[in-house]
Every structure is written in C-alpha cells, then in structure tokens.
Structure 1
Amino acid sequence: MNKTKIALLLVPFFSLNVLAQDSLPQENPTAQVTPKLSVLDSIKSTFVHHEIANCVDQEWMKELTNQELYAEMQNDLVNVDPDVKVDYDLSTDLLKARLKEMDAKSPFNIEYNEGLENIIKSYLKNRKKSYERLMAISEYYFPMFEAALAKYDVPLEIKYLAVVESALNPHAKSRVGATGLWQFMFATGKQYKLDVSSYVDERSDPLKATEAACQYLSNMYKIFGDWDLVLASYNAGPGNVSKAIRRSGGQQNYWNIRKHLPKETAGYVPAFLATMYIYEYHKEHGIEPRRAAISYVATDTVAVKREMTFKQISDLLDIPESQIKLLNPAYKLDVVPNVKGENYYLRLPMDKVAMYTSNEDKIYAYAQIEDDKRERPYFTRKTTVTAPTQTAIASSDEKEVVNGSRLVSKTKYHTVKKGDNIGEISLKYGVSIAEVKKWNGLRNNNVMLGSKLKIVTSERVATTVVKKAPKVIKKEAPETAIASNEKTAKKEFIIPENDTPKDSEYYIVEKGDNLGTIAKKYGVTVEQIKEWNNLEESKVLFGSKLKLIRGENAPIETKAEKAEQQIATASSVRQYLVKKGDSLFSIAKKSGVTVENIKEWNDISNENIKPGMKLKIQG
C-alpha cells in the first residue's frame, strides 16, 4: 500500500474524531481569574462618581504657573523709561480720546501725558504676545478678584494691579522676598493675618491674599483719598509717598510728585494705566486673547480633616499632582497639614469636590492605611529589667525590649532625585523635617539634586532570651522568699546576641580598611561588627564611625604604635584651595571623602564656602 492510499484512509478517521469532540459538551471551561485588587483600587471601586468632564489640560497648567511673564513685567517696570519716545502707529489724538472715555467711567485720574503714551506704545510694540497669554490667565483669576474688590468697595480696575505686580503668578517671588499674586512682604502678610510657616505660605493663596490686598488698599485710600497715590503706596510704601508729597511742596497729583518717588514706582502707575488701556482696547490693536480652559469659579474648596499628601489625593481622585499644586499654591511641601485649632482647605475642580465629599470616610481610611505603612522612629526610654540575682537599670542609650526584640538605630542615605523635596523625603522615612535638617546640617528646606541625605531610623531586631533559675541572695522568711521568687520568675532577663559586658569604643574607618582587617585588629568577627553597627553589607565608608567591643584575643596597641599612627595620619593631611563653582559635595566626591568629614576636619557647621578658602583634607 503506497503513501497516497494510507493518507486517504486516515482522513475520514480524523474527521469523525473532530466531529465527536465538537459534539461533546464543554464540562470544564477555563474560568477567568479575577486579579487581586490593591487597597487603593478596592477603595476607588466603591466611590460614588459624578460624571463631569475635567477640562484642565497640561499646557494650561504650565501657562498658569509660568515665570517668564513675571520676569518680563518686572524688567519693564525697571527699564521702560516714560520719557523716551516710541515709534508705533497710534495717533496721539485717538489715544487722547480713548483715555478720556476710560476716565469717564473710572475713579482713577486717567489723563493724557507723553509719559503714559510712550509706555502704552512700548507695550503694544514689544509685548502683544505676552498680553494675549495674560488675558487668558485673567479669565481664571479676574472673577474671584472682582468679587473680593466689590466686597470692600475697591474699584474693580484694581484687578489690573495683580497683572503688574506678579503677571498673575501665585508663585512669583521678587528679589526682596515679596511673594504671591499681590506680592506681599513677610511682615505685611503677617499684619494682614496671612499664615507663613514651614508647610504653608498664604501669601501664595489666591483667595486669602486677594482678601488681604483689598483690606490694605481700602486702608490706604482712607489715608490718601486718591487711588493713584494708593497705587504708588502699594509699591513704594505710604512713607515714601508722604515724603514725595512734602518734597514737591504739598502737591498731591501722582504725575506732579513722580520725580520724587523711587525709580521703580515712577514707572509703576503708568504701567498700571497702560495695562488697563490694552485690556480695554485689545481688539482695536489686533490682540486676540487665548481662551482659559477653566475659571476660578469652576473650582471649590473642601475642608480637610486630617493630614493628606498631594500624591494620596492624586491617586484617589485621578487628578494630576501638578493640577493640585496649581489650585493650591499655598502648600509649600505638597502636604495639606492638620494642626489643632487651624482649618486647612483643598481647592479642586467642581466634579472632584463632589467626589471628595461623597467619599470622605473612604479617603481618610486610605490615608490612614498609607500612614500606617510609614517607617516610624521608636523612642528610647529608661526601663528596669530585674535579673534573678541583681537589678539592671537600662542606660539612656538602650532601647526598649518588647516580645523578644529590641530597637536599634539604623543610618541610611537618600540620594536626592529630580522632583524630591524635604517634606516628601521625611514622610518616606517617617521622620521629621527638623531631624533631616539636623542630621545633614541644613539651614533651610532646600536640597540639592544628587546630594546624599543622612537619615537615622530605628528598627526592631530579634534578641536571644536567656531564662535563669532564681537564686536567693539573703536569708528571708519562707513566705517572703517564695513571693519574691514567683515575682522574679515572671520576668525574662533578655541579653542581646553577641553582646558582652565589656565597654564599647568607636573606630574611625581609615583609607584601605575593610571589615576583615578591622575585625582582626579588635579580635572579633565580621558578623559581630555588622550586628553592632546594623550593617547589611560588608562595605564601609572612609571616615565613618564604627561601634566596636575589643575581644580577648585582640592585639594590644602600645603607646608607641598610637603615636606612630597619629604621625602617619597627620602626614596625610593636605590642603584644598576652594575654586569658583566648588561646593562641599563636589569637593568631597573629588577627594573620596564625605561632606561631614570635611566639615569636621575644618570645624565648619554649614555648607557655605567661598573661593580662596583653604580646606584640610585627610587621606
């Protein structure tokens, strides 16, 4: 039988087999396995949702927090000279007519003069694109400004003051420290009850800063009775305006006293009036404002009843952290704090406010779960452990022993990555900002990209429990002895593994050292050194400090050997001349040492160094 015939005979057989399989019922279909949900997904799956579109896109958020427009506005205030003529196609007669129309409906003294004409023409010639962007941002803030200004009977045109002051950037900060949309100095902000702390700077809060600005402007009007002079006092201070009035022989028109005001203020009111003109007549000059993606009135606030990070809020509400930062610029560390007696609010788009309030209990439950995951420091306290034959009182550096474990300190190093801040780092390790600053000699909350931060935490490690039979030292009555022994037997005398009653000492790691050579020098094992110092790896950094207990077989170091060692160390000291652009971090990296080493060798407490300084470097 050839191969062709065999093939023909097999075809019907396989066909019948396939048909038979198709006709059989599927008794065990493959069941779909539902993936296990995380705590976050489990909570979010129970949320009550409100289907309203979130229209704040990434580009719009960038525009609302840009620094470029603020820099341009500040540059104009200082450098644009009202007395320099500008070549621009705008007739003087037409400008006079338009200014007269503006003056008729405004409490400001809007009168034509050459200085104002020159500034208006300068802005139209050089800053058209900037004003298109500013007008879009205005759509976001102006409704809120106007509501507050109306409340305090302040002219609505004052809204243009924020354009001149900060280019509508809540994060704007001047060279002298004025901050926020309305550029409040620290002392003035405090005077108007704007809270400034490590967590919060309410000078950057649009609502609270606007309220404070309205109060300030209203008070200044009671003093001067003229809105032009109020504007001048907002920039230069009421004292400088009063001096200018006296120096001009008592004249009280801004344009008459302008030459006696500081240079920046001399261009301040003209810049305000020029901005007002461009907003009023932008269409006539071909300025087409970009459209705002969202208005301030399309957002609302919700009271936050426990500490929440922006990341937690972002994860729960599916809203970008950048958007939360945009809407809540007053929170400096991306954390909404919780302080007794204080109320803190979170501003969100309307739909997210609805979601937050509908699911508040679940949100706080998730925040608590996340908080419980944080590594926390254990605090030491004096404890008394009764041994059968003696009473041992724990020293101040011993840790509390609980359930066969003890607390040990552990030093870690965190490398600062892009986007890190000191608040997030402290939250990650369960320590305070003050502790991070103390361990790393920081004077403020700024951390450099790439720098290594020392973090000290406490962890529990197992101990060996040694139970000893009770032994009576002095003669006691039978009843007393039994009671005493029963009481002692209830307590466990706990001795940590590999620990000895010998005094410990500290060893500074030298160049070329490793755990093996150090262990040999002290007559101990590498594992003992690692346990005493909570080391997971066998690597040790040059200059680091190790706690050691000298073993019985350790070689005795003579005075002559010590002296020889000191001479060798002294001879390895060299001087480094600080160059322009150097930092302690760059010098330490270059020299193979740590920043703390350099600070200790040179007896310096901070990281401020200047070119020309001579630093001692060992090794």
Structure 2
Amino acid sequence: MIIKKISLAVTALFSITMFAQETATTSLDIRPEVKLSYLDSVKSSFKKDEVATKVDSLWMKECLSLDIYNDFSNDIQTVNTDQDVNAELPTELLKQRLQAMNEKSPFNIEYNQGLENIIKSFLKNRKKSISRLMALSEYYFPIFEETFAKQNIPLEIKYLAIVESALNPKAVSRMGATGLWQFMYGTGKQYALKIDSYVDERSDPLKSTAAASDYFSKMYTIFGDWELVLASYNSGPGNVTKAIRRSGGQTKYWDIRNNLPKETQGYVPAFYATMYLFEYHKEHGINPERAVVKNFETDTVNVKSEMSFKQIADLLDMPQSQIQLLNPSYKLNVVPFYQGENHFIRLPKDKIATFVSNEDKIYAYVRHEAENKTMSSRLALKVTPKAKAHLNKAIDTDVQLYKIQKGDNLGAIAEKYDVSISELKKWNNLRSNSVALGRTLKIKSNVDPLKISKEAKTIPAIDKKSDEAIAAVDDKEKAAAQAQEYVVVAGDNLGSIAKKFGTTIADLKELNNLTSNNIGLGKTLVISKEIPAIEETATVNTAIASNASIDSFKKKTASAKSMGEDYYVKKGDSLYSISKKYPGVTISDIKKWNGIKNEDLKPGMKLKING
C-alpha cells in the first residue's frame, strides 16, 4: 500500500514537471519578433575590435567646463605680488627648489618676494585646480613637446598654455582671444589658421600649437630672451620695446616689469608659479586626477562626407562630449565636407578601428539619413489638396519656438530638435550660421518640447496655433528687423560689447567700418542688422494665444511713435537706454526729434518722444 502511494506521488510529480516544460516551451514560441531600426541593423553588422576605451563620460563635463579657465584668468589679472600670503613653505626651501629649476632651464628663474607670494597664493587657492590640470596635461603636453622640439623651443613653455587657457581649447577671453594659446582673430589669420562658419583652428590643439611655436621662434630672434618672449606673447612686442625704453635700455624682464601693462606684470610670475607646482606637486600633497585620455591612445581618420557628431556618437556607441573634447575646432558639432579639402576627426583608437573597418556602412547610413529627409520634403509636395490641408494642420501643431540663449549655435539647436542646420536656416530665412542673442526661432520638429525646455530653457511649443497667430509672429520679427544700436560707456571695449550681445569682435568691426579695436566713449555702435523682437512680460504662448493679444502688441509698438510724450533725463541715462523704454523708437529717432548731434545728455534735460 505504501509502495503504491509512493508510485502515484512520483507519477504526479513527473507529470507536473513535463507540463511546466511544455508551458515554458509554448511561451517561448509565442514571443513577438522585435524589429531592429536601420541604425541598430547597421551597428549589428559592424566588425568589433575588443579594445577598452579609456575615457570616462563624466570627466568630459569637467574637461569642457570653463570654471578653471575663469579662475586662473581672474587670479592673473588681480594677483598682488607684493602682498604676503600665509602658506607653509619656508623661504630658504623655496630658494633651493627655484635654483634647481633654474639649473635645468633656459629661463632665468630667480627668487624674489613677488614670485614667492604668487606661488603661495596658488598653493592656498589652486591645489584642486592643479590636480585636475595635471590629468588634462597627460593629453596635451605630448602635443606641445613634440611641436616645440622641432623648432628648439624650450619645452617648459608648455606650462604657458595653463596660464593662457587652463588647457581648455574652447576658452574665449573677454577680448575674443580663443583656444589653448588664446589667438585673436587677426593673429590667427596671420598664422594661417582657418576660421569660418564650421571650423575655428584656433581651437585645434595641433595647428594652434604649431602657430604658437612659430610666434615664439620669431620673438626670440628679436629679443634674445625667453622671459621677454613670454611678455610679448601677453602684451605684444610693442609694449615690451616701450618698457625697455622707459627702463633706460634694460633688457631683463624683472628690470622692466614695472613699465609693462599691469596684467603682464603678473604673467611671467604666474608662469613660474605653475611650473613650480607641477615640478613639486608631490612635496605639496597634490595628487593628479586620473588621466582622461592620453594622446597616444587616440588617432585620426579622414572623413569623406559631412557628418554630425550625433551620427558618429550613435554609430560608434560613444558620448558626444567625448567627440567634442577631442575635436574642439568644429564649431557646430559637424564635420563639414569641402571639395578639395580634407577634414579629420580624432577618436580613441578602438573607435578608429571600428570606423575604418566599417567605413562603407557608416557612409551608407549617413546617405540614408540624408535621403530620408529629402524624401520627406518631396512627399510634402505630392499629396492631394485635401491631404495637404490636413498635413499643414499637423505641421502647424508641430511648430515650436526657441529663444536664442547665451552660448547657443545652430548646430547645437539642430541637434536638440533632431533637425538639420539647413532646415533651421530655411524656416527662419537665415542667410548665415550666426544668430542674434535673444532672437526667437521657429522649429518644425516632433521632439517633445517640454523635455527640451528642461535642459535648454526653451519656450514650450504653442498648441493649435491659428494661421493668424503664426503670421503675427512673422510680423513681430519683421518689425524688429532694424539696426540694433549701443552707446559706448566708460569701461567698454569691443570684446566686452561682443560678449554682451552674443556676437563677435570681427562682426562689430565690419558693421561699424572700424579699422582697429579702439572705440571712443559715447560712440554709437551698430550691434546687428537684425535684433530680437520685443518680448512681452508674459511667455510667447500668452502673447500669441489670441488675436486680442496680437492687436495689443501691435498697438503698443506703434503708440510711442503716434503720441507725443516728454521724457526727463535721469542720472545714468543714455540714448540707448531711453530708446529701449519706448517700443519702436530708435536712437536716431530721438536725435532727430530733439536736434541732438552728439550723445551728451544731462540729468533733468527734457526730451521729446515723437516731437
């Protein structure tokens, strides 16, 4: 009886097990087939090279940040070499270390109290920055050393790039100097660095370093002293020769230092202080951060078709920020293609291997994307009138508005909305890749605007806009398409004005027919031929939500010119600031109505608005 029960139990257990297996088999058989996207299907066919990447995506943000550059720039401009700094570094020990540095350097490194003070200041305030810069130096210093060795330039000058840009190839000074070696536009052109809408070779580590090397070599043939070469790099050879004359013919940096511009007086000491901290970082407990990437771990490949950084990142499974770090000379995050010219992209060697091994498939994918966009445009022209009306209605609901923020460019905006630069230019009647700060762009995209607005401070999409509402936005932009003017005040220079309005020094000079960077106090400058439309205090959504809002906007714009009004000048007023108080009124209008020939205003003066 017991044996019979055991047999039944075993039989039942075996049956349950078999049923479970059948059920599992059945469930596996009915799983839906997952279709791969074209991008995934291309990537799945790639030949793989199992080489581990050495770049950490979190570090990319650190490397692309301008915080260190801004800190170093402020230090050099404001450092007081005469002010004692309390830091643990005995003077006698510092003298010994400086002497050891001097013995193996062509520079005349001598102890003085000012140098001691700036070294102690860096030790007190910049230890963490030096640690991060040492990680970056593992990538950039080999580039500098190889280039300098070819022209017998002292290898120690590599430390100058830290003083100039904090090893950030995207650094831009308040005067418009750009890149690792901070070349001005004119100097960059003088040394054959390409600067156009897509490329700025002042930010190219290899080409800008070669140009800097040429400059150092020429200046040494003039001055015969490396410290004076550094001083001339900062303030120009003319200021150095003036300082030599004012010092009675002295030709040593420390003898003429007090006759140099203030910033240059702290420039060479900052260079020596940086060199000291790199040479004696262990003694001061400065531990280098982990190297982001080393130069020998990267390589270049010639790109034979226009490609965006996004396409490269998608195909090679790498962050765009990594591509930006290694290729800082491409301004719009696009590798362009010009007939008869080569453009290269630098990538980690394992990604280069994948790119080269699958080049045909990569270019096929790029062509596929381009053809799809072209096909979409053609289909829009071939639909029936009824379908076209329906399509237009759908497109209207997809129109989004984006207000240009500081630091924006068309490449970045196109990438955020998954559209092309050419489409942005077409939708907004743009003839070039430059856009004015504050301008509102129309974008036809299916990307969720709320998602983008969180990361880029965009204006949310406007739902169910009528044709009249869209036309009103067009009219609003056209009404604002007049010359934007600015009156120069004390402390202004072309660099600060360009930065304030999101333009460039070169554009300002061209618009105002300036032959130099000098501008007179009170001069009226044309900032741009197009200015952003006047914004209401409410959002754009509210401003164009109804025809009543549009009418009120138009009336407000016209009111200042249709009604006479007196304005009494207050302290600090300028013609520019007053014109901004009255929509549609320009500086030229106020001058004409009041018979004003110059920019001089006095507090209490009465001005007629539309006299």
2:131 maps to amino acid: E
Determine the C-alpha separation between the residues in 1 that align with 2:65 and 2:81: 27
Alignment CA distance shift 1:260-1:49 (3 Å): same
Instruction: Establish whether residue 615 from structure 1 lines up as the match of residue 583 from structure 2.
Output: yes
Q: Which residue of 1 aligns with 2:128?
A: 129
Determine the C-alpha separation between the residues in 1 that align with 2:537 and 2:172: 32
1:367 maps to amino acid: V
2:466 maps to amino acid: K
1:423 maps to amino acid: G
Q: CA-to-partner distance for each residue in 1:198-238, whole Å, 9 max, x for gaps?
A: 11111111121111111111111111111100000110011
1:420 shift after superposition = 7.5
Instruction: Establish whether residue 585 from structure 1 lines up as the match of residue 535 from structure 2.
Output: yes
Instruction: Establish whether residue 413 from structure 1 lines up as the match of residue 399 from structure 2.
Output: yes
Aligned partner of residue 535 in structure 2, secondary structure: helix
Counting only pairs closer than 5 Å after superposition, residues 396-411 of structure 1 correspond to structure 2 as none
Alignment CA distance shift 1:277-1:31 (3 Å): same
1:86 shift after superposition = 2.0
Alignment CA distance shift 1:232-1:17 (3 Å): closer
Instruction: Establish whether residue 372 from structure 1 lines up as the match of residue 371 from structure 2.
Output: yes
Determine the C-alpha separation between the residues in 2 that align with 1:233 and 1:599: 57
**Contact 2:303–2:345 (Cα < 8 Å) also in 1:** yes
1:454 shift after superposition = 2.8
Counting only pairs closer than 5 Å after superposition, residues 317-356 of structure 1 correspond to structure 2 as 317-356=316-355
RMSD over aligned Cα, in angstroms? Answer: 4.2
Aligned partner of residue 583 in structure 2, secondary structure: strand
1:615 maps to amino acid: P
Instruction: Establish whether residue 435 from structure 1 lines up as the match of residue 425 from structure 2.
Output: yes
Aligned partner of residue 347 in structure 1, secondary structure: strand
Q: CA-to-partner distance for each residue in 1:393-420, whole Å, 9 max, x for gaps?
A: xxxxxxx997988999987733339997
1:193 shift after superposition = 1.5
From 463, 466, 472, give the equivalent of 1:539. Answer: 466
**Contact 1:132–1:289 (Cα < 8 Å) also in 2:** yes
Alignment CA distance shift 1:49-1:442 (3 Å): closer
Determine the C-alpha separation between the residues in 2 that align with 1:24 and 1:166: 67
Counting only pairs closer than 5 Å after superposition, residues 257-268 of structure 1 correspond to structure 2 as 257-268=256-267
Alignment CA distance shift 1:100-1:437 (3 Å): farther
Alignment CA distance shift 1:456-1:131 (3 Å): closer
Q: TM (normalized to structure 2)?
A: 0.68
Instruction: Establish whether residue 444 from structure 1 lines up as the match of residue 430 from structure 2.
Output: no
**Contact 1:413–1:452 (Cα < 8 Å) also in 2:** no
Q: Which residue of 1 aligns with 2:476?
A: none
Count of residue pairs brought into register by the alignment: 472
**Contact 1:413–1:453 (Cα < 8 Å) also in 2:** no
Alignment CA distance shift 1:98-1:539 (3 Å): same
Runs of 5+ consecutive residues of structure 1 not aligned to the other structure: 1-7, 380-399, 458-535, 547-580
Determine the C-alpha separation between the residues in 1 that align with 2:131 and 2:75: 17
**Contact 1:585–1:595 (Cα < 8 Å) also in 2:** no
Q: Which residue of 1 aligns with 2:441?
A: 453
1:154 shift after superposition = 0.7
Q: CA-to-partner distance for each residue in 1:325-368, whole Å, 9 max, x for gaps?
A: 11111111111111112211111101000100010010000011
**Contact 1:103–1:111 (Cα < 8 Å) also in 2:** yes
**Contact 1:201–1:331 (Cα < 8 Å) also in 2:** yes
Determine the C-alpha separation between the residues in 2 that align with 1:278 and 1:189: 30
Bigger mean CA offset, 135-144 vs 359-368: 135-144
1:241 shift after superposition = 0.9
Alignment CA distance shift 1:421-1:595 (3 Å): farther
Aligned partner of residue 29 in structure 2, secondary structure: coil
2:125 maps to amino acid: N
Alignment CA distance shift 1:306-1:251 (3 Å): same
Alignment CA distance shift 1:439-1:456 (3 Å): farther
Which has the higher Rg, Structure 1 or Structure 2?
1
1:446 shift after superposition = 5.6
Q: Which residue of 2 aligns with 1:285?
A: 284
Q: Which residue of 2 aligns with 1:225?
A: 224
Runs of 5+ consecutive residues of structure 2 not aligned to the other structure: 446-462, 474-500, 502-531, 561-574, 586-611
**Contact 1:543–1:594 (Cα < 8 Å) also in 2:** no
Q: CA-to-partner distance for each residue in 1:495-529, whole Å, 9 max, x for gaps?
A: xxxxxxxxxxxxxxxxxxxxxxxxxxxxxxxxxxx
Alignment CA distance shift 1:311-1:270 (3 Å): same
Aligned partner of residue 399 in structure 2, secondary structure: strand
1:256 shift after superposition = 0.8
Q: CA-to-partner distance for each residue in 1:28-84, whole Å, 9 max, x for gaps?
A: 882655422211111111111110111211232122122111111111111111122
**Contact 1:178–1:184 (Cα < 8 Å) also in 2:** yes
2:29 maps to amino acid: T
Counting only pairs closer than 5 Å after superposition, residues 5-20 of structure 1 correspond to structure 2 as none
Q: Which residue of 2 aligns with 1:512?
A: none
Alignment CA distance shift 1:274-1:594 (3 Å): farther
Aligned partner of residue 429 in structure 2, secondary structure: helix
Q: TM (normalized to structure 1)?
A: 0.67
Counting only pairs closer than 5 Å after superposition, residues 111-510 of structure 1 correspond to structure 2 as 111-374=110-373, 413-416=399-402, 421-423=409-411, 425=413, 428-429=418-419, 432=422, 435=425, 439=429, 444-445=434-435, 452-454=440-442
1:197 shift after superposition = 1.3
Determine the C-alpha separation between the residues in 2 that align with 1:81 and 1:363: 55
Aligned partner of residue 141 in structure 2, secondary structure: helix
1:200 maps to amino acid: V
1:297 shift after superposition = 2.0
1:602 shift after superposition = 5.8
Q: CA-to-partner distance for each residue in 1:360-407, whole Å, 9 max, x for gaps?
A: 01000001111112258979xxxxxxxxxxxxxxxxxxxx99798899
Determine the C-alpha separation between the residues in 1 that align with 2:49 and 2:333: 26
Q: Which residue of 2 aligns with 1:563?
A: none
**Contact 1:87–1:121 (Cα < 8 Å) also in 2:** yes
Determine the C-alpha separation between the residues in 2 that align with 1:209 and 1:599: 53
Alignment CA distance shift 1:208-1:297 (3 Å): same
Aligned partner of residue 227 in structure 2, secondary structure: helix
2:535 maps to amino acid: F
Determine the C-alpha separation between the residues in 1 that align with 2:30 and 2:254: 84
Alignment CA distance shift 1:594-1:376 (3 Å): farther
